[in-house]
Structure 1
């Protein structure tokens, strides 16, 4: 609920309580029926009670046995009982010297149901209704309900919905209870048909309204909803209009009137705005007074307004905010900079005085964490860049907030940091960090499906915040048509207090490439790795991976590609052992873990198999992703990935020699019959060089170039006697994307809709690169972080393709990572 309805609902509560002080019209009559003259009360009896105990009545009743009462005392007693709000009717009678109080209790609210509301959230409505006593278990007050109904109508009218219908329904139950239902028919918002701006002489209306949230009905209104009238939006637009002129020196700008009219059917709105532009003012002088604390050089750096400039309120505010922020970073948490303008209307000039009031220098007494039911305080504290006992620093607090949000343990945008003054002092504050935790791990036993792998089953226990320690633990068993995998991983991101991380990876895998849109062969592999990470700056880190692995290749003489079989034959064995090392650098400035809207993420890694491995090669991979916030409704993401690999050392060569005369000799430039000896001729040369085929890069599919079947881009090969193309990947990969996200299209932080342009391809080696061979596609995508697992759906139109490419416009995955 917006602030305005909240304040009004609270006002209703106050008005309701004040109304209860008035004596009902029947008071004098009821008092006279009890006694026409004073008498001494020998006893008091209360009739009509159902839920309220007699003791409660006696607590509020200002009459006791033995009291001498008259009509005045009875009136006072009646007002006291009505003031409690418990009763609909009260009557005083006399039986001899016994005072009989007959009451009719107000019913209790058994259930409260709100239906039909979309613009106003149910939890907001329920919370505000409870504040004025309309809640389950509370006493029902019809007057308060009527006023709430009126206020809800006003709240919806402020949102441009003038056809709203609020229908309270009261169902009487036994034991003096009611079921209360507030049925809301919101109707449709009135649409703005015309906006008329009067008095603008210097600027065109189109330029003035460029940043407005309100606009006349247009072809994009179905998405922007800018044609839906709202008083709050219009108020904001008027402030933007004022800022527009003040930022260009029009100090005397003024609004002369606003008129909003509605059509008889309450569906169309017409807005007229009158303004007076005035004259342009320049800055004649700028003075900075007070205890600036900062050096003159620093003040000059932050001072953006200078004599001779056209007056600009935004530059003036930016100057004030910059000085305030600089003071806040050195401990002056309550610093203020007050701009004092002096106008000379004859000369059209403004003299500015910036009064700096630093206030006391503040230290942080304590850092308090709230809302972290699972995550330990220590895990959060180690991300803080503001320390207890240190000078207050706004920059350190802002950085701490970003680091906490990037952990992935809390809901997007839920990390809030506030500074609370310590009572009794003016130089200490407590920093209170409030979070709302989200699921940081999962236990999955279920099914997934993708067009590439078909049906797959997974049993996975993963926890990015294991037992609230911040450690990452994952155990996984996965089976699909092409893959069997068993893995275990562990990572302690704070193995040392300085932020050094240490982790381990163990896995075993059977992988059938024939079902993976790649060459016809399969592998059985296993690996053990140790991972070490070291932070070098606030945003940069380096990592080192060292491990040993074993990879056994199974090929088929008549089904596997010729190049694959020749490589295996040249090496002379099918089992590859490797000692592997990888050095990586990463930089992360994203503002959020799940749905970033700004910042950059980069990673550069170099992997090498050490000398003595069966195949000696290296791979270099660079990934770049940057988010650009265009406006409140658009975020652009630019991504690029470059991968390259090659062998080092001597090539492995296998000569195929046969007895002379069996086959025609086939000498090469490097080898001849002489290399086979005196009685044999050279019939073939098998050379294993370059990046091994099982380490090749692939492209195409949901995670690279959408619109093309997974892994099908790039070089292909054929098996003996078969015309079927088999993708074999390549040693060079270039993939990029431009993707525009629409954050406001879906009202959910877990779902995103985007439009994208993908491009890229894979090449045999660096000499084979040809920009003309790059493929491209464009389309739309839906990414949803569902409770059962992430879901990705895309529909792409290939823009640049060849007849031999394998196209697949609709692609989706369920149960896999984005």
Structure 2
């Protein structure tokens, strides 16, 4: 058990006091029990014939004897009694210790400290309970431990200090100790946090070169403002202020003010402890320029190559930030060729008379390091082989920090692990070898799911899925799924081996069958019954690039209704003279993913281009070309901009099919109509509008519309063969305390056209609004509220009859799903 110096001093003082009291007692009791003819001893001393311990409840007598510095046959006197008392107090087990005598028997009487039966925390929000309990345990306050009042007092003071550092000066920490039977206590610590003191004013004194608002722009501590309820940047914290003062120092050093100094810092608090006033006095000094820059030491690589990494140049204004970037670049470069412990020491030569600084970049590479072993820990289910094939740092090769970091990213991307941590451990007895250890915490990679979801378009969706993303620890993915909603029944089976070959080629199989009723799906009214079998291949060509191919066979039965389905779609079916379409299908694609996080990215790009086509011999021969790109730009630590675009185009590559229909629709003998099937089949058309496209417009309703017969004013969206959609979306911090949630403001633009020749930029639709995306425990949730800023209104003739449908607007849109 850990004991503080204060506790040891208190125990020593108590032991000394008790020793002083015990010695006279021993002296007074020695003579009455003295035996006739016994040898003469010092007054109050005697030979110990036995030792008895009284007062024990939980602690065994054997434990006491272990610490007691007295044994049978020892000569007992006042000094020995004091030593015994101090030894037993030092254990921390006892509130009181007394040493007495009964004849030649030493009687040790103790009062045990109570044990903590239950420890309860209430009222703490700013500091998590698990963090508090961990700190209490380190201080010796945990369930089952011996209760120490001094430790409790110290913890109370430390908690108050911690809350004060967070700007909460009205905090009240109230410990309550409840006595129980069998020498136990229940300990309750009640926290009344109160409100954090708000920063009312920040005042810089002595800044003449730069405006105060520019200096404090990057500070975490800000004066109370209209966004403080959201950003909480007006809450005072000692740690935040310390970091801000460091930023103040860096601000001037990055602009050449080498002699800058923070002369004084004063923090004042109002009488009600609610308002804080911060004042900092600064001395700016003069601006310095760089007189020369040279690289010295053992550069390992050609000196010219290292010098190219130095971005600070002569005659530039001195900047510590650019100096650090240069040093880090050199260290990283050497670290990637085996010099794991390389250092760069920028040595400045300050000439205060000429206001210049000379820089000597001294390179100290240290020993070149070899990786002896790559070790995995914590993978109780996942085979080492599955993890090792993601490694870019190999055993027996030179150390490379870039390869180690990339290996970590690849392990995280598997989705098998909740956390991945990496550390390098020096090999004992050598300075040129290390072991690289990856510590992982596995997460559930298989599940049996009953799911419910809802969206305004599809209504309630039920789903049953048995999946294993890491089947038997092999890294293979297996999934069986059945889902149903108002429009769709679908059954799927898929299997993927991501390392079918050692060089990373993946092989997968997909089987699916579905019934889809478009009757009320915001699209043209027709139904399909389809099934497919597919083989999918993937091959990584770089760390971020992958090429893929898919080959399959499918069948699709189309059901249309005259008078219900748009007439051009019925004509397409009539031209072919059949309603079942068989296809040999192929797909070829390329994708690149450099996002820093797959779920909540802040930088990087994701793009994909793929060609899908039916092969010669299919019922209809056509192709579809798609391109998607999404790039994230970190604007600041608070804002991330996402630019997104999506293009799609399709057409037939076979000959058009033309057919003459005699007696169409029962018109009678002598009547006929010519119908043609050409271009992209209508059941493969692109659609736009909705949560995943142009928000603010009803799902799938943008683009060409058509009635069930010529002149019909009740029209249905039929989609088109050319689609273009773009978006600008700014993400900013959320009120939810989770990285899985994002709030954004967006502008969406897009539309669908009959074909490429029909494209007209003036027909693009646009909307703007706000959105919340949250990967909640119940599943992904997306909510948006948008205002169309460019739309088409319905048109009417002079008599008030509608002659053209307008765009269907839906401002509030949402979708969510979950598992139970």
* 2:50 matches 1:33: no
Aligned to 2:672: 683
Match of 2:484 among 467, 476, 479: 479
Counterpart position of 1:702: 691
Shift of the alpha carbon at 1:558?
1.7
Q: CA RMSD in A?
A: 2.0
Residues 538, 17 of structure 1: alpha-carbon distance in 2 compared, 3 angstrom cutoff: farther
Instruction: Report SS of the residue matched to 1:236.
Output: helix
Deviation at 1:310, TM superposition (A): 1.8
Is the 1:477–1:486 Cα contact (8 Å) retained in structure 2?
yes
C-alpha contact (below 8 Å) 2:19/2:78 kept by paired residues: no
Higher mean alpha-carbon deviation, 681-690 vs 289-298, is at 681-690
3-state SS of paired residue (2:308): helix
For residues 442-469 of structure 1, what are the alpha-carbon distances to aligned partners after superposition, in whole Å with 9 as ceiling and x for unaligned? 3211432222122222111123222322
Q: What CA deviation, in whole Å up to 9, does each residue of 1:62-120 have, x standing for no partner?
A: 01122111111000000000000001111112112211111111111111122222221
SS of alignment partner, residue 815 of structure 1: strand
Q: CA deviation at 1:23?
A: 3.7
The equivalent position to 1:53 in structure 2, one of 60, 64, 77, is 60
Instruction: Give the count of matched residue pairs.
Output: 788
TM superposition shift of 1:16: 4.0
Determine helix, strand or coil for the equivalent of 1:417.
strand
Is the CA contact 1:628–1:635 (under 8 Å) kept in the aligned structure 2? yes
1:107-163 per-residue CA deviation (whole Å, 9 max, x = no partner) reads 111111222222212212211221121111111111011111101111111111101
Tell me what 2:753 maps to: 763
Match of 2:811 in 1: 809
Paired with 2:185 and 2:401, the residues of 1 have a C-alpha distance of 52
**Corresponding position: 1:562 with 2:554:** no
Match of 1:531 in 2: 536
**CA distances 1:20-76 after superposition (whole Å, capped 9, x unpaired):** 454443442134334441111111111111111110000000011221111110000
- Are 1:401 and 2:390 matched, yes or no? no
What are the within-5 Å matches in structure 2 for residues 103-122 of structure 1? 103-122=110-129
SS of alignment partner, residue 59 of structure 1? helix
Q: Which moved more, 1:246-255 or 1:114-123?
A: 114-123
Is the 8 Å Cα contact of residues 35 and 94 (structure 1) preserved in structure 2?
A: no
1:536-569 per-residue CA deviation (whole Å, 9 max, x = no partner) reads: 1111110000000000001111211111111100
Q: Residue by residue, what CA displacement relative to the aligned partner does 1:634-692 show, whole Å, maximum 9, x if unpaired?
A: 22222111111011121010113469xx88xxxxxxxxxxxxxxxx9773210011110
What residue in structure 1 maps to residue 276 of structure 2? Answer: 269
CA distance in 2, matches of 1:14, 1:341: 45
Paired residue for 1:520? 525
* Structure-2 separation of matches of 1:735 and 1:31: 94
Q: Pairwise mapping of residues 400-799 of structure 1 onto structure 2 (< 5 A)?
A: 400-411=407-418, 414-657=419-662, 683-720=672-709, 723-743=713-733, 745-799=735-789
Q: Distance in 2 between matches of 1:639 and 1:438?
A: 32
- More off after superposition, 76-85 vs 776-785: 776-785
Per-residue CA deviations over 1:150-197 (Å, capped at 9, x if unaligned) read 011111111111011111111211111111111111111111101110
Q: Deviation at 1:199? A: 0.5
Q: Normalized against structure 2, the TM-score is what?
A: 0.93
Q: CA deviation at 1:373?
A: 3.4
Which secondary structure state, in structure 2, belongs to the residue aligned with residue 244 of structure 1? helix
Write the deviation string for residues 607-657 of structure 1: whole angstroms up to 9, x where unpaired.
110111111110001011111222222222221111110111210101134
Match of 2:179 among 158, 172, 196: 172
Query: What is the Cα deviation at residue 720 of structure 1?
Result: 3.4
Contact 1:195–1:271 at 8 Å: present in 2 too? yes
**SS in structure 1 at match of 2:620:** coil
**C-alpha displacement at 1:254, in angstroms?**
0.7
More off after superposition, 11-20 vs 311-320: 11-20
Task: Give the whole-Å Cα distance in 1 for the aligned partners of 2:663 and 2:266.
Answer: 100
Q: Deviations over 1:704-756 (max 9, x none)?
A: 12222211111111113864321111111112222222345322233333232
**Aligned partners of 1:799, 1:536: CA distance in 2, in Å?**
43
Separation in 2 of the partners of 1:508 and 1:180? Answer: 62
SS in 2 for 1:708: coil
Give 1:359 deviation, angstroms. 0.7
- Distance, in Å, in 2 between the alignment partners of 1:570 and 1:345 is 90
SS at match of 1:239: helix
Matches of 1:595 and 1:467 in 2, distance apart? 29
Q: Report the Cα offset of residue 227 of structure 1.
A: 0.8
Take 2:78 and 2:366, find their aligned partners in 1: how far apart are those partners?
Answer: 62
3-state SS of paired residue (2:163): helix
Contiguous gaps of at least 5 residues in structure 2: 29-43, 794-805
Q: Is the 8 A contact 1:408 1:593 kept in 2?
A: no
Contact 2:778–2:818 (CA under 8 A) maintained in structure 1 = no
What is the aligned partner in structure 1 of residue 800 from structure 2?
none
Structure 1 residues 79-478: aligned runs within 5 Å: 79-411=86-418, 414-478=419-483
3-state SS of paired residue (1:780): strand
Alignment-derived partner of residue 7 in structure 1 = none
Give 1:17 shift.
5.2
